[in-house]
Amino acid sequence: MTVDREALQAGWRRTRGHLDAARARLAARPGVDLAVTVEFLEHNELGLAFDCLVDLGDDHDASLAFWQDLDGAAREMRLYGDALHKPHLTSADLCRRHLAAASEQD
């Protein structure tokens, strides 16, 4: 199987853009420590950064726009399909639940 490096890197850039947008939405809130998330992003650990942002968003009652940004990242990383094969609640599941709840409120 041949890996298309350009397509892979373009996907990483799109994912990173979604994660950066979500992070920026939390950065304005007092008491939110984004140090671990930033470290994961600096090391291109996008899945771990996603998990951290989901936890922070859950803890700090994040906005619909935040969950939409994370939804974009989850779709780029194809996390929703993977979540169907896991017996436990994943960050992708939690993101989807918050997205639905926030959408109903707006």
pLDDT for 28 equals 86
Q: Alpha-carbon distance 5 to 24, whole Å? A: 28
Residue 77 · residue 49 · CB < 8 Å: no
Asked if 29 contacts 60 with a C-beta cutoff of 8 angstroms, the reply is yes
pTM, two decimals, is 0.84
The model's pLDDT over 29-86, given as tens digits with 9 standing for 90+, comes to 999 999 999 999 999 999 999 999 999 999 999 999 999 999 999 999 988 775 556 6
Compute CA distances 87 → 40, 45, 55, 83, 93, whole Å: 26, 23, 19, 8, 11
Tell me the domain boundaries of the chain.
Answer: 5-105
Per-residue confidence (pLDDT) for residue 79, from 0 to 100? 86
CA dist 105 and 97 (Å) reads 13
